[in-house]
Amino acid sequence: MTDRQLQITDSRRLTGPNLFWNKAGAILDVEISGFNKGEIISLWSKQCRSLLDALHWQKEQITHRIYEGGASLVISAPIDCLYAATEVTEAAFAMTQEELNGMEVKERDYLIRLQEEIDKEKNPKLIALQKAAAQHQIKFLSDDDDISLGYGETCQVYSVNNLPSVDEVDWNTIKDIPVAMVTGTNGKSTTVRLASSVVKAAGLCCGITSTDYIRVGEKIVDTGDYSGPGGARTLLRHPETQTALLEVARGGMLRRGLGINQASCVVVTNVAEDHLGEYGINTLSDMVEAKFTVRQAISKEQDLILNADDAGSVNFAKSLDNTLVWFSWNADNPIIKQHIKQGGKACFVDDGIIIYCDGKQKQNVVAVSDIPITFEGAAKHNVHNAIAVTALCRALGFNNATIAQGLKDFDSTPENNPGRGNRFDFNGITVIVDFAHNEHGLALMAQTIKDMPAKRRLVLMGQAGDRTDELIQGLVKSALIAKPDCLVICEMLSHLRGREKGVIPIIIHDYAINLGMQEQQIIHASNTISGTQKALEWAKEGDLLLILGLTNRDEIIKLLTQVSQSG
């Protein structure tokens, strides 16, 4: 007998542009097994349409997305009634279940309760300001507590409980600032930080959001993961922000949508299989579609900057009518060549030089060897980041000379770019600390280590317990691209996540042996700090060490800083 399940797994607001469209709404994730998904969605849509029409939300739309094990059921809604909108989706689902079970569906009872929720939440002044902002072409942001008009220095912020009338706002004093959004599986943080160096070279105060902090100029406004909508709003409301660079993570986009409705340009660095299985994103193609949600924040005429070396991005872009700007390691990339032939914009490396093509002519920007974070070109992933930054900064209006200066000025130090290719040199030993935590990112970092000159190489690694055995083995395979003479395997007690102590190190050890490592080449450590100490004890002059600091990053950097200063 088939196990039948029909239940809600999540209900939430979509506060901005999202996977489904460029407007706010509500989403219901439901588990469906033992039922025909199409029938369930059809019944829910019917009930939902009836509720929306009766509530005078006739203009609001309905959509859905089917995935393995369930579906997402979505409606659009006014931004002042998003909590009530979640109640609408849930009510429609309850009515669907009643109809399936042959029960009487008492729509009127649901409508009375829903109208009460709408009446408590609706804010006519907020909606009026949103419409007026659109008419004046002024950026509008809203959240539970505040709304704001414009970005940066002229931004005006008001409490949702004390809003002005449209006529009380001096619309002529409100301005906007350039805003870029950067997403992707790997390289987001480095890209926004590297681009901020270009903005600084232009003499402007740059604000960035990232997984580590919000920074305005040289000041850290707050620490923590601010790659979601809240971080974007905080930065854009800061009066000192003159140019904003937003790191945009998958989780925030899927949970709440984008933090802003409009940006100046968008970059997708790459898309790999990471964090699958959340919010119905179960395959690589699902993840590509999710990452491309950022395009909802730009017009068709603004630059959507994409990686021509990333197969998923190339394939997805075939269905788009955006203004595409392609970037690549290689001038001979067929996407690049065809795009330039058709008069499109592109950025690539040719004979060691980053070239920008504006659709008419090719312009030399800077030598790869002059960009510190590329390690003389060995760090191909950072070459990629530099190319993406070049295209991003051209889209924001910066000239080639300023871009070149910014790229040259940026060192991937713990202060500038914590945990991303931080390099320490002492006693003839080179140590690189990196946060590479998925197979794709680690493969790139391992290739970098392999391509750098060294007498011997060491890789230190551990992994969280919520990864499958297969994913952990994939990470080991990537790490061994570096051809390490020594592998330090660390327990990560703070990240066991359901696994027993010692299990992850055994998986890593056994697979490393299976791939050709010898027992005498492997060192075990109780944590990443102890592992780093053991790596330093192993190291001799001419050696190169890759420390994958997934835990205790700050402590590892402090230890290496002390050692390098004393050495």
Neighbours of 164 (CB within 10 A): 14
Position 274 scores a pLDDT of 63
Name residue 315's amino acid. Answer: N
pLDDT at 567: 63
In angstroms and rounded to an integer, the radius of gyration of the C-alpha atoms of the chain is 26
Sign of the dihedral through C-alpha 187, 188, 193, 196: positive
Checking phi first, is residue 275 left (phi over 0); if not, alpha (psi -120 to 50) or beta? Answer: left
Q: If you write DSSP's letter for every residue of 86-145 in order, what string do you get?
A: HHHHHHHHHHHHHHHTT----HHHHHHHHHHHHHHH--HHHHHHHHHHHHTT--EEE-SS
- Position 158: which residue type? Y
Q: Tell me which residue of 497, 461, 463 sits closest to 481, measured CA to CA.
A: 461
pLDDT, tens digit, 9 for 90 and up, residues 274-309: 657 677 888 888 889 989 999 999 999 999 999 999
Q: For the chain of 567 residues, list the mean pLDDT of each consecutive stretch of 10.
A: 83 95 96 95 97 98 95 97 98 96 93 97 97 96 96 96 96 96 92 97 97 94 92 96 95 90 95 73 87 95 97 94 96 96 97 95 97 92 96 98 98 82 93 86 91 96 88 94 96 89 95 96 96 97 92 90 84
The C-alpha atoms of residue 220 and residue 208 are separated, in whole angstroms, by: 10
Sheet holding 219-223, edge to edge: 219-223, 213-216, 206-209, 243-247, 179-183, 265-268, 303-307, 323-328, 345-350, 353-357, 362-367
Residue-range domains of the chain with CATH: 5-121 (3.30.70), 124-173 (no CATH), 179-409 (3.40.1190.10), 422-566 (3.90.190.20)
Task: Tell how strand 303-307 and strand 265-268 pair up.
Answer: parallel
| Structure confidence at residue 180 (pLDDT) | 98
Amino acid at 103: M
Rounded Cα distance, 522 and 486, in Å: 6
What confidence score (pLDDT) does residue 1 get? 40
- Residue among 512, 535, 463 nearest 492 (CA): 463
What residues does 60 pair with on adjacent strands?
none
Cβ atoms of 414 and 403 closer than 8 Å: no
Q: How many CA atoms lie within 13 A of 313 on its CB side?
A: 27
Q: Determine the pLDDT at residue 303.
A: 98
Q: What proportions of the chain, in percent to the nearest 5, are helix, strand and coil? A: 40, 25, 35
Residue 302 DSSP label: S
Q: Whats the size of the chain, residue-wise? A: 567
Q: How far apart are CA 202 and CA 402, in angstroms?
A: 6
CA-closest candidate to residue 37, choices 2, 11, 6: 6
Of the candidates 187, 268, 181, the one whose C-alpha atom is nearest the C-alpha of residue 441 is 187
3-state secondary structure 70-83: EEEEEEECCCCCHH
- Say how many C-beta atoms besides its own lie within 10 A of residue 222's C-beta: 12
Q: In whole angstroms, give the CA distance from residue 562 to residue 354.
A: 36
Residues in contact with 166: Cβ distance below 8 Å, sequence separation at least 6, in sequence order: 128, 129, 132
